[in-house]
């Protein structure tokens, strides 16, 4: 008799199983039926529960592979091949954790270093009203093409760990851009804290009129789309010669593509933007037809090669692929020019891949790289600020529905054997730092409890600088960074400051490799006991003495210093009159002395601060604030 048997999506070809621990294996089946699992010389079996789920544990296995994992139920057999045994890390958070290798500055370096010993399972982004039984996603093996879509930070972390530990490393990537932390918290963890329970209560009460609000929104969207259908002012850039190969674009700015232009600007932008890219024709392509693939575009494009229009498409959810006939490309330098018009949502080249491919199935040229862009929108003006498309009301399925991402993307992963967790999130919670201080440690503790690992390693990134001002008048990002430190009170946690790796122009800085290295530093020294610790300095104590404040740091590795040899910048003190003023500090090895009748000291207290205090390894001192 044929029996339904479906292991969890994590158990597929190319997977990485955890080493040196009892291996949890689970899935779905027919209630009451028997499931038998075979791995090497080991066998185990269990019965499917009445709700249709099953779970068992295999004996610990040592690192290595590839192996074969077999499962049987009745006459049905599932065979999983190319199974590696090593360490698996969960990488979660919002868009900076999701940010793919193809869009980071070190993409070529990561592609060069990638190994088949590193593998990634990308969880399909899902928000659910209740914990899901199944996860969606698939494993891919590390390779120059596959790695383009992986998390740049998680991949960089895995490369650093794998080259030292020499075992297969698996990354489970469960991230979603724009998500708030409450979306990643279980409902019980929110309800257990009186300060957080209103998040759930307010959301539940709002669902009473959700269908009516959704219908009202849809009607407004339809009206907006009709009214704004012909807002494109016309292709004025074409008349300026922006499509021509001889046009001089040296003064245009540079951008790594594919990237939505809102993420380049760090704000909502609607209107028209041009991109240009120069490339050399591979000799073997001479006289051949070539396909230009752009992936997805937001929203309408007009695409030119050497001044000739090769295609145009209207609509966001239509992947672009244009044929370039023989004779269009020429020996030496060629130019692709693309005009994109967008009136709502993400605009620009969205990818995931941009490339030129020979139609005969030969070589391809990767265009996921640096392009020239004219994004000032001075010739073709942006849509007026008051004409934005109406925003969909929050409800079931929304990425920020409380506990939605947890139910859809984390709960069904449990109890897969993981070595630890990597986390990069907080941008969406800027402005609610007081709540984040409660939410963050509560989430960490809850996830650990659900995995039944009270000391499950949890390493995370402190937000970088962002914005055009280094003044502390607006310090919401500084407050959130301070709130992120709340998890450090829990054992086996580590915070990797990235204050020196930010970009004033974008909320998504393109330097990701170093962030991954800093996270890997925690794993290598604290989990694997390998190498020399090299963490960013953080404050461990601060006290007032006669006429001064003494601040003591950990992770200095010798003595503090300034990166440029100048006096300390970014340091302020709170005087007796309640005013913050620029301060001078004296370095005494791992200590900082600030003189005066001081009521408080702070360092790098701004959205995008400038500072130069580092440890002996040149790693930046984390932003801090102490009050007396």
What pLDDT, on the 0 to 100 scale, is given for residue 231? 60
Give the list of residues 6+ apart from residue 528 with CB closer than 8 angstroms, or none: 161, 164, 165
- 610 domain-assigned: yes
- Side-by-side strand order, sheet with 300-305: 253-256, 370-374, 271-280, 333-342, 300-305, 308-313
Domain boundary among 387, 407, 440: 387
Count other C-beta atoms under 10 Å from residue 310's C-beta: 17
Q: Torsion-angle region of residue 77: left (phi > 0), alpha (psi -120 to 50) or beta?
A: beta
The two three-digit tokens of residue 126, written as one number: 């899902």
- 193 domain-assigned: no
The H or E element containing residue 280 is strand 271-280
Count other C-beta atoms under 10 Å from residue 243's C-beta: 25
Q: How far apart are CA 488 and CA 517, in angstroms?
A: 19
Smallest CA-to-CA distance from 496 within 427, 437, 422 is with 422
Domain boundary among 387, 418, 453: 387
- Report phi then psi at 613, rounded to 5: -85, 125
Domain boundary among 350, 370, 387: 387
Q: Which residue do the tokens 């008799």 mark?
A: 1
Q: Torsion-angle region of residue 40: left (phi > 0), alpha (psi -120 to 50) or beta?
A: left
- Report phi then psi at 382, rounded to 5: -75, 160
What pLDDT, on the 0 to 100 scale, is given for residue 342? 83
Length of the chain counted residue by residue = 628
- 525 domain-assigned: no
- 348 domain-assigned: yes
Count other C-beta atoms under 10 Å from residue 296's C-beta: 19
* In contact, 462 and 452? CB cutoff 8 Å: no
CA distances from 167 to 52, 54, 64, 152 (A): 35, 29, 7, 20
* In contact, 429 and 467? CB cutoff 8 Å: no
Q: Quote the pTM value.
A: 0.83
Q: How far apart are CA 312 and CA 302, in angstroms?
A: 4
CATH of the domain at 287: 2.60.120.260
- 109 domain-assigned: no
* DSSP letter, residue 225: H
CA distances from 107 to 99, 201, 204 (A): 11, 44, 43
3-class secondary-structure state, position 452: coil
- 415 domain-assigned: no
- Report phi then psi at 342, rounded to 5: -145, 140
Handedness of CA 141, 146, 149, 152 (dihedral sign): positive
Strand pairing class (300-305; 333-342): antiparallel
Whether the upstream peptide bond of residue 352 has omega within 30° of 0, thus cis, is yes
Which residues, listed in sequence order, are joined to residue 300 by a DSSP beta bridge? 341
Can you say how many angstroms the Cα of residue 517 is from the centroid of all Cα atoms in its chain?
A: 15
Q: What is the pLDDT of residues 246-283, one digit of tens each?
A: 999 998 988 888 877 766 654 556 778 899 999 998 88
Handedness of CA 240, 246, 248, 254 (dihedral sign): positive
Whole domain around residue 586: which residue ranges? Answer: 538-627
Q: How far apart are CA 423 and CA 438, in angstroms?
A: 16
Q: How far apart are CA 408 and CA 127, in angstroms?
A: 5
Q: What is the pLDDT of residues 85-117, one digit of tens each?
A: 999 999 999 999 999 898 788 988 999 999 999
- 596 domain-assigned: yes
- Overall number of domains in the chain: 2
Handedness of CA 148, 151, 155, 156 (dihedral sign): positive
What pLDDT, on the 0 to 100 scale, is given for residue 26? 96
* In contact, 137 and 149? CB cutoff 8 Å: no
- 475 domain-assigned: no
* In contact, 14 and 82? CB cutoff 8 Å: yes
Which residues, listed in sequence order, are joined to residue 115 by a DSSP beta bridge? none
- pLDDT less than 70: residues of the chain: 1-3, 228-232, 262-269, 317, 361-362, 375-388, 468-474
3-class secondary-structure state, position 113: helix
The two three-digit tokens of residue 421, written as one number: 């967790």
Q: How far apart are CA 240 and CA 374, in angstroms?
A: 12
CATH of the domain at 547: 2.60.40
Give the list of residues 6+ apart from residue 353 with CB closer than 8 angstroms, or none: 102, 148, 258, 293, 295, 366, 368
DSSP for 570-624? SEEEE-TTS-EEE--EEEETTEEEEESS-SEEEES-SSS----EE-TTSPBPPPE
Which residues, listed in sequence order, are joined to residue 116 by a DSSP beta bridge? none
* DSSP letter, residue 269: -
Q: How far apart are CA 147 and CA 517, in angstroms?
A: 17
Instruction: For the chain, give percent helix, strand, coil, nearest 5.
Output: 25, 35, 45
* In contact, 596 and 547? CB cutoff 8 Å: yes
């Amino acid at each position: 008799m044929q029996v339904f048997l479906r292991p969890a999506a994590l158990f597929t070809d190319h997977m990485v199983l955890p080493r040196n621990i009892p291996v949890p294996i689970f899935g779905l089946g027919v209630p009451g039926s028997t499931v038998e699992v075979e791995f090497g010389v080991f066998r185990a079996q269990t019965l499917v529960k009445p709700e249709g789920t099953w779970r068992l544990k295999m004996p610990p296995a040592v690192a290595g592979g590839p192996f074969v994992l077999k499962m049987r139920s009745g006459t049905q057999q599932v065979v999983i091949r190319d199974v590696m045994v090593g360490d698996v890390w969960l990488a979660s958070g919002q868009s900076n954790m999701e940010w793919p290798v193809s869009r980071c500055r070190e993409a070529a370096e990561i592609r060069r270093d990638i190994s088949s010993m590193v593998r990634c399972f990308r969880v399909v982004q899902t928000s659910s009203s209740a914990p899901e039984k199944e996860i969606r996603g698939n494993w891919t093996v590390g390779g120059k093409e596959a790695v383009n879509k992986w998390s740049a930070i998680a991949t960089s972390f895995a490369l650093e760990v794998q080259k030292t530990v020499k075992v297969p490393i698996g990354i489970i990537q469960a991230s979603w851009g724009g998500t708030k932390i409450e979306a990643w918290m279980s409902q019980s963890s929110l309800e257990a804290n009186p300060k957080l329970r209103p998040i759930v209560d307010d959301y539940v009460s709002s669902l009473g009129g959700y269908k009516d609000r959704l219908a009202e929104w849809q009607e407004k969207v339809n009206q907006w789309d009709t009214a704004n259908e012909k807002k494109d002012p016309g292709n004025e850039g074409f008349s300026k010669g922006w499509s021509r190969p001889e046009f001089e674009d040296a003064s245009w700015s540079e951008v790594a593509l594919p990237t939505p232009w809102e993420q380049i600007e760090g704000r909502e932008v609607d209107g028209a933007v041009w991109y240009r890219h120069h490339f050399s024709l591979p000799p073997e392509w001479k006289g051949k037809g070539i396909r230009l693939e752009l992936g997805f575009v937001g929203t309408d494009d007009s695409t030119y090669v050497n001044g000739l229009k090769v295609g145009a498409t209207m609509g966001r959810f239509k992947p672009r692929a244009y044929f370039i006939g023989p004779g269009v490309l020429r020996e030496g330098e060629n130019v692709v020019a693309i005009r994109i018009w967008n009136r709502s949502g993400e605009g620009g080249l969205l990818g995931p891949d941009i490339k030129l491919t020979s139609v005969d199935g030969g070589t391809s040229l990767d265009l996921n790289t640096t392009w020239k862009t004219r994004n000032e929108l001075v010739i073709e003006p942006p849509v007026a600020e008051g004409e934005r498309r109406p925003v969909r009301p929050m409800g079931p399925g929304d990425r920020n529905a409380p506990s939605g991402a947890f139910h859809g993307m984390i709960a069904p992963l449990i109890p897969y054997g993981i070595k630890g967790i990597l986390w990069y999130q907080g941008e969406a919670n800027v402005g609610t730092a007081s709540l984040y201080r409660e939410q963050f440690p509560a989430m960490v503790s809850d996830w650990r409890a659900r995995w039944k690992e009270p000391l499950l390693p949890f390493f995370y990134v402190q937000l970088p600088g962002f914005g055009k001002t280094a003044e502390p008048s607006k310090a919401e990002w500084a407050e959130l960074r301070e709130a992120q430190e709340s998890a450090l009170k829990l054992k086996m946690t580590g915070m990797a400051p990235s204050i020196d790796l930010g970009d004033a122009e974008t909320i998504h800085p393109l330097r990701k490799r170093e962030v991954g290295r800093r996270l890997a530093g925690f794993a290598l020294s604290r989990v694997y006991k390998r190498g020399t610790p090299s963490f960013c300095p953080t404050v461990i104590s601060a006290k007032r003495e006669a006429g001064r404040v003494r601040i003591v740091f950990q992770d200095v590795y010798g003595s503090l210093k300034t990166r440029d040899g100048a006096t300390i910048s970014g340091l302020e003190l709170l005087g007796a009159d309640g005013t913050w003023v620029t301060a001078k500090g004296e370095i005494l090895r791992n200590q900082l002395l600030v003189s005066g009748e001081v009521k408080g000291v702070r360092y790098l207290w701004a959205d995008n601060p400038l500072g130069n205090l580092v440890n002996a390894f040149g790693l930046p001192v984390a932003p801090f604030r102490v009050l007396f």
